[in-house]
Amino acid sequence: MNDNQLELQHIYLEANFQRWHSISRFFLPYYCYQNGFVTSQGKPSWEVARERCSASSNLARRKDGVLVPMLPEEVLVGQIKALERDGELTVEAISELLERQLHYVVITRSELGTLKKLGLEKSMPKEWYQSKQQPTSARLDTAGITLSQ
């Protein structure tokens, strides 16, 4: 079992025992292992992720940016809760969900402030919850944040 699978197992176990408050702490390590954002010692690194993830077109220096998930962690936890509620909670289902929905980006502190002002720091726009597509970029789009590589 590799490190990525281990983090996925942690998420599954926390969800299976309904320890919802503990799940989000495993998202970034999982994402880092999944994408090779690790230190020379093989540990997950938010600093490497900040250097390699897509970034706001307004960001002058990556060092000054803030690494945030495109979907707030609370929303991802809510989707995992729905899997558990519907009797569909499996490691595979969580893996598929995270593959589709868990992406990190680097934005400016000012843009993070804009998300907070719009009430989008911990949630998605209202329309997103009723949409079938549920694009991961919806809250950034609503806040006028554009990404560049």
Residue range 2-11, pLDDT digits in tens: 998 999 999 9
Asked if 98 and 35 touch (Cβ cutoff 8 Å), the reply is: no
Task: State residue 15's pLDDT score.
Answer: 96
Task: State residue 1's pLDDT score.
Answer: 77
Asked if 142 and 118 touch (Cβ cutoff 8 Å), the reply is: yes
List, edge to edge, every strand of the sheet that includes 147-148: 66-69, 104-107, 54-56, 147-148
**Residue 33's pLDDT band (boundaries 50, 70, 90)?**
very high
Average per-residue pLDDT for the chain: 95
Task: State residue 100's pLDDT score.
Answer: 95
Task: State residue 149's pLDDT score.
Answer: 64
Among residues 129, 32, 12, the alpha carbon closest in space to that of 80 is found at 12
Question: Which amino acid is present at 139?
Answer: R
Residue range 98-144, pLDDT digits in tens: 999 999 999 999 999 999 999 999 999 999 999 888 999 999 999 99
Nearest-Å Rg of the Cα atoms of the chain is 15
For the segment 26-40, the average pLDDT, to the nearest whole number, is 96
For the segment 9-16, the average pLDDT, to the nearest whole number, is 96
Please state, for a pLDDT cut of 90, what percent of the chain lies above it.
93
| 146 vs 140: CA distance, rounded Å | 7
DSSP assignments along 104-117, one per residue: EEEE-HHHHHHHHH
